[in-house]
Amino acid sequence: MLSTREMENEIIKVSRSATLPNMNDLHGKRIVLGLTGGIACFKAAELCRSLVKAGAKVQVVMTEAAAQFITPVTMQALSGQPVYTSQWDSREGNNMAHINLSREADALLIAPASADFMAKLIHGKADELLSLMCLARPLQTVPLILAPAMNREMWAHPATQRNVAQLKADGAHVLGVGQGDQACGETGDGRMLEAEEIVDALEAFWTPKLLSGQHVLITAGPTYEAIDPVRGITNLSSGKMGFAIARAAQHAGAEVTLVAGPVSLPTPRDVKRLNVRSALQMHEAVQAVAANATVFIAAAAVADWRPANSAEQKIKKDGSGDTPALSFVENPDILAMVAQSARAQKGDLFCVGFAAESHDLLAHSTAKRARKGVPLLVGNIGPSTFGQDDNALLLVDAQGAKELPRDTKIRLAHQLIQDIASRLSKH
Ligand code: CTP
């Protein structure tokens, strides 16, 4: 049993050089990346790099049309593996590349998937290596994931939409398309998703759906309390931990609403984001959603006080050397109030608090859990995590404390979500 001081030292210790366990990224996944003909092939280069960076082993297979847009040499260099382009490739001992490659894969990812290639797939055509592999893959064990890319008119055409519906009915996972400027000069739906969006979709695909059916409400980031139109009081919270939790909860199958203070982080895919600035706005947004939520995770660093009066015009120096007299009023304690009303209504809302401390983490977190009236409180050392991509957490409940050692915020978020999911089943 660690003493309080030892436990805190462990948590504060910043050991970025330590080998981090691989969890919920693509470590060890064997992915066949299939390229079909389209200008979005240029994005497949970045995708290949991102997949390799996420820990996947990537085997590239290209159609003849894809090789018109990007060379196998480029894809070989990026994947670190020779590229396959023909079913007659004599490198395979049994000359059955379509069988061998599809049996070794954890998934076939076709990116970009052209309109023509999707039309071929629905008919089970197999006149070149990539379509042959799609048909020959073991249906139950090797998922087929498609990232379509085409001109907006081609994407909107009833034939394409019919083919997408048929592919889904046949068990393929068809990712959405992006919206915006297209290589042809037009603007609309049909761009291939960006590399990081596709990697995110794959990570979500392999995350167990422990929170399916749950609606998770999360607060994240700092709040900003205006003194006048150009000045205010805020804190160093970056919002990264709360955003990572939102992403992990979405990957775990939850419907997620993220109430975000003023941060410029990108919104995790398929997460509903409500931007707020002040604690009062955050409180209002949370109250509007809490009634329909089943889990509330208060990760935001909410300002405890706000200026009693926010000046309508900028407060000017008058040259006398006098400083303005500021007075403060206390902000509502959002977490405590939501937890109290959940208890009063005997509802199912499971509330999780955070504690950002600078010292005495276990003692402060234990006291804070009781004060807020929540079953679980997550302690962390603010100064050693604000703005960083890693953190260390101390999970405090009625039974005691459990440490989640220093790791990336994304991986910690997944561990926290797993922990919450196991508590929900007993809640
Ligand atoms: N919290 C909240 N509303 C507030 C203040 C805090 O919802 N007005 C939530 C935070 O999101 C966090 C938890 O309460 O989940 C603890 O926040 P923290 O700032 O660590 O604690 P405080 O309650 O503000 O106490 P102190 O500043 O004295 O440590």
Minimal-distance CA residue to ligand 1 atom 27: 304
Number of domains the chain is built from? 2
Secondary structure of the chain as H, E, C letters: CCCHHHHHHHHHCCCCCCCCCCCCCCCCCEEEEEECCCCCHHHHHHHHHHHHHCCCEEEEEECCCHHHCCCHHHHHHHHCCCCECCCCCCCCCCCCHHHHHHHHCCEEEEEEECHHHHHHHHCCCCCCHHHHHHHHCCCCCCCEEEEECCCHHHHHCHHHHHHHHHHHHCCCEECCCEEEECCCCCEEEEECCCHHHHHHHHHHHCCCCCCCCCEEEEEECECCEEEECCEEECCCCCCHHHHHHHHHHHHCCCEEEEEECCCCCCCCCCCEEEECCCHHHHHHHHHHHHCCCCEEEECCECCCEEECCCCCCCCCCCCCCCCCCCCEEECCCHHHHHHHHHHHCCCCCEEEEEEEECCCHHHHHHHHHHHHCCCEEEEEEHHHCCCCCEEEEEEEECCEEEEEEEEEHHHHHHHHHHHHHHHHCCC
- Per mean pLDDT, which range of 2-11, 166-175, 228-237 is the poorest? 2-11
Tens digit of pLDDT for each residue in 386-412?
889 999 999 999 999 999 999 999 999
8 Å CB contact between 140 and 62: no
Which pLDDT value is given to residue 238? 94
Q: 280 alpha carbon to ligand 1 midpoint, in Å?
A: 14
Quick check: 229 pLDDT over 90? yes
184 a catalytic residue: yes
Quick check: 245 pLDDT over 60? yes
Residues 180 and 252 in one domain: no
Minimal-distance CA residue to ligand 1 atom 19: 301
Give the end of a domain, one of 206, 223, 255.
206
8 Å CB contact between 410 and 394: no
Q: 213 alpha carbon to ligand 1 midpoint, in Å?
A: 28
The response to whether residue 304 sits with its C-beta less than 6 Å from ligand 1 reads yes
14 vs 39, residue with greater confidence: 39
Q: 215 alpha carbon to ligand 1 midpoint, in Å?
A: 22
**pLDDT band at 19, cuts 50/70/90?**
very low
CATH at 39: 3.40.50.1950
Quick check: 21 pLDDT over 60? no
Instruction: Note whether residue 15 is domain-resident.
Output: no
Quick check: 5 pLDDT over 50? yes
Residues 227 and 339 in one domain: yes
Q: Give the pTM.
A: 0.89
The response to whether residue 302 sits with its C-beta less than 6 Å from ligand 1 reads yes
Point out the ligand 1 atom lying closest to the alpha carbon of residue 336. 7
Tens digit of pLDDT for each residue in 252-290?
999 999 999 999 999 999 999 999 999 999 999 999 999
Residues 147 and 256 in one domain: no
- Given ligand 1 and candidates 217, 235, 306, 333, which is best to mutate, with the most ligand atoms within 8 Å of its CB? 333
Mean pLDDT of 2-13: 48
8 Å CB contact between 285 and 321: no
Tens digit of pLDDT for each residue in 52-72?
999 999 999 999 999 999 999
8 Å CB contact between 342 and 351: yes
Instruction: Note whether residue 187 is domain-resident.
Output: yes
The 10 Å CB-count burial string (b at 16+, else e) for 285-323 is bbeebbeebbbbbbbbbbbeebbeeebeeeeeeeeeeee
Residues 201 and 213 in one domain: no
Q: 5 alpha carbon to ligand 1 midpoint, in Å?
A: 23
Residues 202 and 213 in one domain: no
Query: How many whole angstroms separate alpha carbon 127 and alpha carbon 226?
Result: 65
Residues 283 and 152 in one domain: no
Residues 396 and 250 in one domain: yes
Return the structure tokens found at 259: 């109430």
Residues 93 and 228 in one domain: no
The response to whether residue 210 sits with its C-beta less than 6 Å from ligand 1 reads no
Residues 151 and 242 in one domain: no
Give the end of a domain, one of 151, 172, 206.
206
Q: Which of 48, 134, 184, 351 is catalytic?
A: 184
Which pLDDT value is given to residue 11? 44
Strands 390-397 and 400-408: antiparallel
Q: 367 alpha carbon to ligand 1 midpoint, in Å?
A: 12
By percentage, how much of the chain surpasses pLDDT 90?
A: 83
CATH at 231: 3.40.50.10300
Tens digit of pLDDT for each residue in 71-102?
999 999 999 999 999 999 888 888 888 888 88
Residues 159 and 282 in one domain: no
Tens digit of pLDDT for each residue in 301-359?
999 999 999 999 999 988 898 998 899 999 999 999 999 999 998 888 999 999 999 99
Query: How many whole angstroms separate alpha carbon 256 and alpha carbon 169?
Result: 27
Minimal-distance CA residue to ligand 1 atom 4: 333
8 Å CB contact between 222 and 178: no
Which pLDDT value is given to residue 24? 53
Instruction: Note whether residue 138 is domain-resident.
Output: yes
Instruction: Note whether residue 4 is domain-resident.
Output: no
The response to whether residue 261 sits with its C-beta less than 6 Å from ligand 1 reads no
Instruction: Note whether residue 201 is domain-resident.
Output: yes
**Domain assignment of residue 193, given as a range:** 30-206
Residues 173 and 297 in one domain: no
Instruction: Note whether residue 264 is domain-resident.
Output: yes
- Given ligand 1 and candidates 335, 351, 380, which is best to mutate, with the most ligand atoms within 8 Å of its CB? 335
Which pLDDT value is given to residue 15? 36
Give the end of a domain, one of 176, 206, 236.
206
Residues 132 and 277 in one domain: no
Q: 372 alpha carbon to ligand 1 midpoint, in Å?
A: 9
**pLDDT band at 8, cuts 50/70/90?**
very low
Point out the ligand 1 atom lying closest to the alpha carbon of residue 331. 8
Quick check: 151 pLDDT over 60? yes
Instruction: Note whether residue 1 is domain-resident.
Output: no
Which pLDDT value is given to residue 311? 92
Instruction: Note whether residue 103 is domain-resident.
Output: yes
Minimal-distance CA residue to ligand 1 atom 24: 304
